[in-house]
Structure 1
Amino acid sequence: MTIREAFITDIPQIQIIRNSVKENMLSNPALVPDSDVDDYMFRRGKGWVAEDNGMIVGFAIADLQDHNIWALFLHQDNEGKGIGKQLHKTMMDWYFSQTQETVWLSTGFNTRADKFYRMQGWREAGLYGTKETRFEMSFEDWKAITR
C-alpha cells in the first residue's frame, strides 16, 4: 500500500469510495460533481490517495482557501488498517508546510470519523450546522503531536 498525490485520473475511483461510505453519506451524490473534486485537489489545495495493487482504497483532500479538510474517506473494506492515519498525517504535514493557519473540519456526531479525529488530536470547536461537530487543529497543536 502506498500513499501518493492524487491525479485527475483518480477522480472516478475517489467518487466510488466517497459514495460507498455508510457514515457521513451524501444525501445526493450529484452534490459533489467531479469538477468539485478536481477544483479542491488542484486549485484550492491538494489531494492524496492510498493505493493497493493499483486500486485506490482511500483518499484525503485539504483546502488551503477555506483552511478546511475537505475529505478523508476509506473504502469500508480497508478500515482499521492504519491507512486513514497515514493519509491524515501526509495531508496535515503538507497543509502545515503551506500555512500556519488553523484548519477545521466537520463530521457527524458519534461516528467512527468523530472518534478518529479525536484520537488524532483534533479539538472540538462547537457545532457545524445541526448535525455535525466542528473540529479544529492549530499549527502549534500539530507540531506538538508530531514531535
Structure 2
Amino acid sequence: MIFREAQTKDIKQIQVVRNAVKENTLSNPGLVTDKDCVEYLTLRGKGWVCEIDNTVVGFAIADLIDNNIWALFVHPDVEGKGIGKTLHDMMLNWYFAQQKEMVWLSTTPNTRAEKFYRMQGWKEVGLYGKGEIKFEMQNPLRP
C-alpha cells in the first residue's frame, strides 16, 4: 500500500472508488463531477489516496474554505485493512496544521462510516442536508 497526496491525474480512479461504495452512495453519480474534484484538490483544499498495485483504492479530501471533510471513501474490496483510518489521520494532521478552527462532515445514519467517525472522536452536533448526521471535531492542539 502506498499513501500519497492526490493529484488531478487520479480523478478518474477516485471517481471509480466513489461510485463503488455500498453505503453513502450518490443518488446521481453526476452530482460529483471531475471539475468538482479538480476544484477541491487544487483550490479549496487537498486530497490523499491509497494505491495498491498502481490502483487507487481509497481517497480523502479536506476543504479549507468550508472547514469540511469533503470525502473519505475506501473501495469495498479493501475495507477493513486500515486504509480509511490512515487516510483520515493524514488528512486531519494536514488540516489542523492549516486551520485552527474545527472541521465538520456529514454522513448517512446507521452506516459503517457513522461508527467509524464516532470511534475517531468526532462529536455529533445535529442533522445536515437530507437527514445526514453532522459531526464536528475540534483541533486537538488548539490552546
Shorter-chain TM-score bucket reads over 0.9
For residue 125 of structure 2, what is the aligned residue in structure 1? 125
Letter aligned with residue 124 of structure 2 = E
Q: Distance in 2 between matches of 1:42 and 1:65?
A: 12
Corresponding position: 1:63 with 2:24: no
How far residue 3 of structure 1 moved from its aligned partner, in angstroms, is 0.8
Deviates more, 1:43-52 or 1:124-133: 124-133
- Give the 4+ runs in structure 1 shifted more than 4 A: none
How far residue 76 of structure 1 moved from its aligned partner, in angstroms, is 0.2
For each residue in 1:50-106, what CA deviation from the matched residue of structure 2 results, as whole angstroms up to 9, or x when unmatched? 011111110000000000000000000111000100000000000000011100000
Letter aligned with residue 60 of structure 1 = A
Corresponding position: 1:139 with 2:135: no
**TM-score calculated relative to the size of structure 2:** 0.96
Corresponding position: 1:4 with 2:25: no
Q: Any residues of structure 2 matched to 1:64-83 within 5 Å, and which?
A: 64-83=64-83
Q: Distance in 1 between matches of 2:38 and 2:85?
A: 23
Corresponding position: 1:89 with 2:126: no
Q: Distance in 2 between matches of 1:25 and 1:129?
A: 15
State the number of aligned residues. Answer: 142
How far residue 129 of structure 1 moved from its aligned partner, in angstroms, is 2.6
- Which runs of no fewer than 5 residues in structure 2 stay unpaired? none
Letter aligned with residue 19 of structure 1 = N
Q: Distance in 2 between matches of 1:7 and 1:17?
A: 15
**TM-score calculated relative to the size of structure 1:** 0.94
Let me know the Cα RMSD of the aligned residues. Answer: 1.1
- Which runs of no fewer than 5 residues in structure 1 stay unpaired? none
